[in-house]
Structure 1
Amino acid sequence: MLLQGAILLGVPFLSRRLARRGLLPDWLSPVVLCYATGILLKNTSLFPLNDPFSTTATEVGILFAIPLLLYATDLKRWLSHAGSSVLSFGLCVLSGVVATLAAAYWFLNDLPDTWRLAGMLAGIYTGGTPNMQAIGLALKAPQETIILVNAADVLLGGVYLLLLTSVVPKWLKAVLPEFQHDKAATADETETDPYQAFSYGHAIRAIGLTMLVIGSALGLTWLVYGQLGQLAFLILMLTSLSLAVSFIPTVRNWENTFETGEYFLLIFCVALGMLADFQSILEKGLGIVQFTAVALLGTILLHLLLARLFRIDRDTFLFTSVAAIYGPPFIGQIASITGNRQLILSGIAMGLLGYAIGNYLGIGLAYLLQWLLQAYTS
């Protein structure tokens, strides 16, 4: 278990160092590297892994990652300047909701608790995998279901990511208009570096504040329910308190809170990869893979159709699709592929907005769908 812990802490640090020094190819981001490492260790059995330890690491990682990723959120500024990015992101979120609802009804008689699956996948297609894990815990989904949904998402999301970084940008030129570059873009917008010099002092303060936020969310949950088992309320309180803290200028201006949150996110990615047993998917989770495939393909195609109708340009479509489905850590990767640095800030902003609303949306959608399905089948 000591070796497993060292890998969980070391691989994220190493992946970020390699990225900051430009030693990773464009198609390989730190997130992909961390996922791949965990998956490789799980499916090659190089040494025995402790699954409960990996599960605990995912839970701790996500509890710390959510607040840290949200501290830098300046919702007012981003929403007032994001323009077509807000529209495209909203269309992608809408597409995800519609696609997961359709999948839930489609597989109603083939899979148990499709309302949970729909809520978890809606979270993925709003802000990425961290939302799925949080929503799964909040909805009290069985751990095996969370693991299988994650593995299916890694498998299918990996295929889409490979296409995004190869042929899709070229194909989209025939469907969507070109991005109109703004020559008057500010230096901040054109020269943003996601891996600038790290401020350890601010990072330590942010971690300390995060412990306080987590403690406050736990305290409020205990105060309202007399227990900590109400995970839906806990996750929503964690998200709400984190957003509330982001309105404090001092906190919002701390350097590297996002990068610190990304480090915990990368720990989460390695641990989650260690739980992705593809043999188990083939034996137990083929239905979940099919559900995920329908939801993901539906989200992509519906988002593309709406983008065409609303004349969203190609780059904005790509950035917001990546922001919604994969989250902010992948924005730098898609910027490298498209060569467009003007959308980095708005792409990260939309990804952070996805983190912020994904938990509310996924949990709310799941319970609404549960009620609708009960009414439909009764």
Structure 2
Amino acid sequence: MKTLISAENTWGLFAILVAVAALAIYLEQKYQWASKITGCVLALIGCLILSNLRIIPTEAAAYDFVWDYVVPLAIPMLLLQANVKKISKDSGRLIIIYLISGIGTVAGGFLAFFALKNFIPELNKATAMMVGTYTGGSVNLVAMADAFDAGGELVSTSVVADNLLMALYFFALIAIPTVSFFKKHFKHPLQDEIDKRTANGESQNHAQNYWTAKPVALKDIAFTFALSFVIVAVSTEIAAFFGRIIPTSNFVLALLNGLIGNKYLIMTTLTMILATAFPTQVGGIAGAQEIGTFMIHIFFGVIGAPASIYLILTKAPLLLVFCAIIVATNMLISFLFGKLFKFNLEEICIASNANIGGPTTAAALAIAKGWNALIVPALLVGTLGYVIGNYYGIFVGTLLR
């Protein structure tokens, strides 16, 4: 498919991606309506529109570069303030509801499979991919596609359906805390505090309030990039080493291989150790969160680019229904058991988001809603999903084979 900017025009595509990310951040901090949507979703929608208008391609080496290099660098930057001593209480609760929400994804996978198995070919492979991505992220979708040897068309349509449903569900989660039914039946202490501050005259643009200007020195920028590069490089080598030496001959060893052999989990662990051991030196680096968040906005643009609406409507409209069943089941179980075990509305929303959209969208939701206490825990549980998602996906795909 020909586009105005070709897949080979790397500089042109990066110009588009960075400009869309910058515009999304500007709109989020400038306008109330945009802050409710969040800059991340605006970046996703922006590139989705550009790709469907055939201005940019749905696949390109520039997008792969963002996946391979920009995202890994952004994760340590976002976690440099992840002092475990300060956040263990909050993230401990969030992990429990996150794991319950993940069970909803698995249940939704089985339900969707048996509802549509006679209508969609190779549905067991699609189920493995969707269960993986709706527990961790798109990284898991790619891993499951490779594990079950899924065809190119099935993978591309699954990615499109995944991205569209993720964006739609993100909108739903943004709206849920304002719906009277949920406010009546769930505790919402963080939202109550925000409403109180709003009543006292504080701006409702939480993104603008959160990203207020801070003094950033040249050495802060230098240390942010240097530390992130070192963490990613060391983590990649450690993960590769353990991935080679730990066999996968049984479930326990395979689980250990997947945990220690996952570079994202190693990156998260190393960053948390540094942030906890040196809270002043590491946590005090100014600008790290800002740079990491800007990189994540670029990543969201890349997520939106492959979402060809024409492809999903003409090639596999039922796949969209299939994904909707999984997402709806995840939401139902998350809120049902969240109510049963007396979790806060904010915790349930973040946990479900961390499953369906991954750590970045969960953190974006926390920032957009002003739930600052849940930002780092959202990143932590979402990153854990990168590992869990592979096991859930392999388990479901193998069982349905």
Kindly indicate whether residue 60 of structure 2 is the aligned counterpart of residue 52 of structure 1.
yes
**1:193 corresponds to which of 204, 207, 210:** 210
Aligned alpha-carbon RMSD (Å): 3.8
Of the candidates 312, 316, 332, which is equivalent to residue 281 of structure 1? 312
**Aligned position for 1:304:** 335
1:371 is aligned with what amino acid?
Answer: T
Query: How do 1:166-245 and structure 2 match up within 5 A?
Result: 166=175, 169-173=178-182, 176-180=185-189, 193=210, 197=214, 199-213=220-234, 215-216=236-237, 219-220=240-241, 224=245, 236-245=261-270
Match of 1:3 among 12, 15, 27: 12
* Cα shift at 1:151: 1.9
1:116 deviation in Å? 4.2
Paired letter, 2:37: L
> Counterparts of 1:43 and 1:344 in 2: how far apart (Å)?
35
Deviations 1:110-136 (A, max 9, x none): 445545434443344345556545665
Shift of 1:363: 1.0
Q: State the partner residue of 1:187.
A: none
With the length of structure 1 as denominator, give the TM-score of the two structures: 0.77
Displacement, 1:295?
Answer: 0.1
Counterpart for residue 149 of structure 1: 158
Structure 1 portions without partners, runs of 5+: 184-189, 226-231
Change (3 A) 1:164 1:295: same
Task: Work out the CA distance in 1 between the residues paired with 2:34 and 2:61.
Answer: 31
Does the 8 A contact of 1:99 with 1:296 survive in 2?
Answer: yes
Report the Cα offset of residue 40 of structure 1: 0.8
Instruction: Show CA shifts across 1:55-83 (max 9, x none).
Output: 42353244444554455444564333446
Question: What are the superposed Cα offsets for residues 173-195 of structure 1, whole Å, 9 maximum, x if unpaired?
Answer: 36623324698xxxxxx998256
- Structure 2's unaligned 5+ residue stretches are 1-8, 194-205, 247-256
Answering whether residue 51 of structure 2 is matched by residue 42 of structure 1, we say: yes
Equivalents in 1 of 2:307, 2:400: separation in Å?
Answer: 30
Q: Which whole-Å CA distance do the structure 2 matches of 1:287 and 1:195 have between them?
A: 44
The structure-2 alpha-carbon separation of the partners of 1:217 and 1:66, relative to structure 1 and needing over 3 Å to count, comes to farther
3-state SS in 2 of match to 1:49 = coil
Give the number of equivalent residue pairs.
Answer: 356
Change (3 A) 1:40 1:207: same
The change in CA–CA distance for 1:224 and 1:82 in structure 2 (over 3 A counts) is: closer
Distance 1:193 1:136, change over 3 A: farther
Distance 1:3 1:234, change over 3 A: farther
* 1:340-359 → structure 2 map (5 Å cutoff): 341=370, 343-346=371-374, 348-359=375-386
CA distance in 1, matches of 2:58, 2:360: 29
Q: Identical aligned pairs, as a percentage?
A: 19
Residue matched to 2:199:
none
Q: CA deviation at 1:213?
A: 3.5
Deviations 1:236-269 (A, max 9, x none): 4312321331212348524444444433332222
Whole-Å separation in 1 of the counterparts to 2:399 and 2:377: 30
User: How do residues 262-273 of structure 1 correspond to structure 2 at under 5 angstroms?
Assistant: 262-273=293-304
- 1:216 shift after superposition: 1.4
Q: CA deviation at 1:164?
A: 3.3
